[in-house]
Amino acid sequence: MQKRALEHPNIEVMWNSAVNEAYGNEKGKLGGLKVQNVVTGEVTDLEVNGLFFAIGHEPATVFLEGQLATDEDGYIKVKPGTTETSVEGVFAAGDVQDKKWRQAITAAGTGCMAALQVEHFLEEHGIQEGKSDPVQSEQVRNDTSTLADQHGEANELLPNDRPEKMEIFEDGHSHLVHNHLSENGAPASPSKELVASFL
């Protein structure tokens, strides 16, 4: 695009310049611009009847400070077809990881993908890797299996070990809380909940 613009006979590039002022004409429309060369300070009067600002495509990823892998232009790298970044458990969606399309609909689509991937990640790791208390997590697995064995058709109340809710604490720990089943197969009271902890 840069090459095409530079080679186009109708385009004159004013390097190192900034628009200081846009002024109107007697018809109340744009009459021209005061353009200042930021190196020399010289101000040029440019008679034009149109002005378009291009804001560029710089992804706002500086705040990451290198914690996630980005490409040479600052876009977050994701595994193709997913929202997975270079750090397990961190997912990226939208324009910050989309160098090509950068549209509202694609941003929304990858946002949906990221949300689902987060959900799957939490489900998988909350049950399978209880880092802060492996014994307790093992107990949760055993208890859940036992419940499933005991309640037969009521197992559908625990589809895929889906967490009922997540609690996040100030120390960075999270708890996935699963509803226990009472004797008749219905969810039991909160006091009987099973809890899996992980970082």
Ligand X SMILES: Cc1cc2nc3c(=O)[nH]c(=O)nc-3n(C[C@H](O)[C@H](O)[C@H](O)COP(=O)(O)OP(=O)(O)OC[C@H]3O[C@@H](n4cnc5c(N)ncnc54)[C@H](O)[C@@H]3O)c2cc1C
Q: Binding residues for ligand X, per CB under 6 A?
A: 55, 60, 63, 94-95, 102-105, 107
Q: What is the nearest approach in angstroms of ligand X to the Cβ of residue 81? A: 18
Nearer to ligand X, 3 or 100 (CB): 100
**Cα separation values, 197 from 26, 74, 103, 147, Å:** 71, 35, 38, 19
Q: Which is nearer to ligand X, 63 or 169 (CB)?
A: 63
**Quick one: which of 57, 54, 34 has its CA closest to 46?**
34
The least distance separating ligand X from the CB of residue 70, rounded to whole angstroms, comes to 14
Compute the distance between CA of residue 29 and CA of residue 143 in angstroms, rounded to an integer: 75
Residue type, 67: Q
Tokens 């040029």 -> residue: 44
110 or 137: whose CB is closer to ligand X? 110
Q: Quick one: 111 or 187, whose CB is closer to ligand X? A: 111
Q: Shortest distance, CB of residue 60 to ligand X, whole angstroms?
A: 4
d(CA 53, CA 39): 21
Choice between 27 and 100, CB closer to ligand X: 100
Residue carrying the six token digits 């992804």: 59
The CB-of-106 to ligand X minimum distance in angstroms stands at: 7
- Minimum CB distance to ligand X, residue 65 (Å): 11
Minimal CB distance to ligand X: which residue?
Answer: 94
Distance CA 108, CA 30 (A): 37
